[in-house]
Amino acid sequence: MDRRPEELQFLGFFGIYKESYKIVLTWRKVFSKITLALVLPLSFIFLAHIQLSELIGTKIDTSEDALDNTKPGSPKQNEILHRIWSEWTAYLLIKVAYFVFVIIFALLSTSAVVYTIACIYTAKDLTFKKVMSVVPKVWKRLMITFLWTVLILLGYSTLTVMVMIFFIFLMGIGMATLMVLIIVFTLYFIGFAYIIVLWNLASVVSVLEDVHGIAAMEKSNALIKGKAWTTTAIFLKSQIAVMSISILFQKLVVHGESLGLTARVGFGILFFMLLVKLILFSLVIQTVFYFVCKSYHNQSIDKSCLADHLEVYWGEYVPLNSKAVQLEPLYV
């Protein structure tokens, strides 16, 4: 980053995107290697999951339709039931494998990008080999923060379901109950999105500061204050982009038989490349946003201290302690 720390607070939505683009463009060599090693597999897993899920889902539907037209107790029915069981098992295994590998590569990608930008911020020597040697250590901290986020979401979702059941028992089934449930679900969705936003910023906090888990979530919540609209705009833009790629991939690639094989392959490559770029820039943007939030709250990280704690000794990551990232007020 070639901006002075106190200037970052003035970056709005477009300014953050412009700054992120400049960083990637200036350091395209190392970001290209990170993309090939981590972001590209993550994007492939995401799109491959859509294709495989649709393929097996279609087989399950076909088998269930055949079961409906089969005589009960016949050998044919037993054969179809066995096939349905196998297909559902494969479907669930794909879902589990998808979840595991997406989380692994997402956290590894986050670790690499955040550490890289921190090195750029402190003007340290930066190589792809150095980044990858640090990633495994940083990844563990991110995993703890992720698990805390999952627990929070599970508790939040469980509480919401209990509230909805309470209103159903209290008011019975009717139009008034339906309206109340719609309001509750809307509030739930807003809260769910906010927790995801907190997790994204908490991931950066977990890498750059000596906190992780629930403490990182709390610090993330404090940082976002005053930047709610910018946060919302960035989050919505990212989610809309991912949903658009997913929907178009399903329509033009997964269900695009009428377009021909060549067109489907072409669209598949196009959406794959778009998703790769989207994921990379989203990770860069959330890291830049972290520094913007620090600056907005008249706080700055001492570059020399940050640089010291980003050093790798004997291949081990040295986390930032609280003193190293104690934020000094900046009066502009």
Tens digits of residue pLDDT in 208-232: 888 889 999 999 999 898 888 888 8
Residue 314 has pLDDT above 80, yes or no: no
Question: If we measure between CA atoms, which residue out of 125, 126, 128, 195 comes closest to residue 160?
Answer: 195
The span from the CA of 300 to the CA of 296, in Å, is 9
d(CA 47, CA 87): 20
pLDDT in tens, 139-159: 888 999 999 999 999 999 999
Q: 312 pairs with which residues across the strands?
A: 317
Distance CA 131, CA 111 (A): 9
Between 303 and 289, whose confidence is greater? 289
Which residue has tokens 């590209």? 40
| Residue 330 predicted with pLDDT over 50 | no
Give the model's pLDDT for residue 6.
60
The token pair that represents 211 in the structure block: 């906190």
Tell me what pLDDT residue 103 has. Answer: 93
Averaged pLDDT of the chain: 84
Closest CA to 5 of 309, 260, 290, 274: 290
**Which of 155-164, 208-217, 265-274 shows the lowest mean pLDDT across its residues?**
208-217
As a whole number, mean pLDDT of residues 77-106 equals 90
d(CA 152, CA 156): 6
Domain ranges in the chain?
7-137+227-323
Count of beta carbons in the 10 Å neighbourhood of residue 299: 19
Q: What percent of the chain has pLDDT over 90?
A: 44
Residue 260 is predicted with a pLDDT of: 86
DSSP-derived secondary structure for 145-214: HHHHHHHHHHHHHHHHHHHHHHHHHHH-SSHHHHHHHHHHHHHHHHHHHHHHHHHHHHHHHHHHSS--TH
Range with the poorest average pLDDT among 57-71, 86-100, 149-163, 279-293: 57-71
Can you list the alpha helix ranges (DSSP code H) found in the chain?
13-26, 28-34, 40-68, 75-121, 128-171, 175-208, 214-224, 228-249, 261-296, 303-309
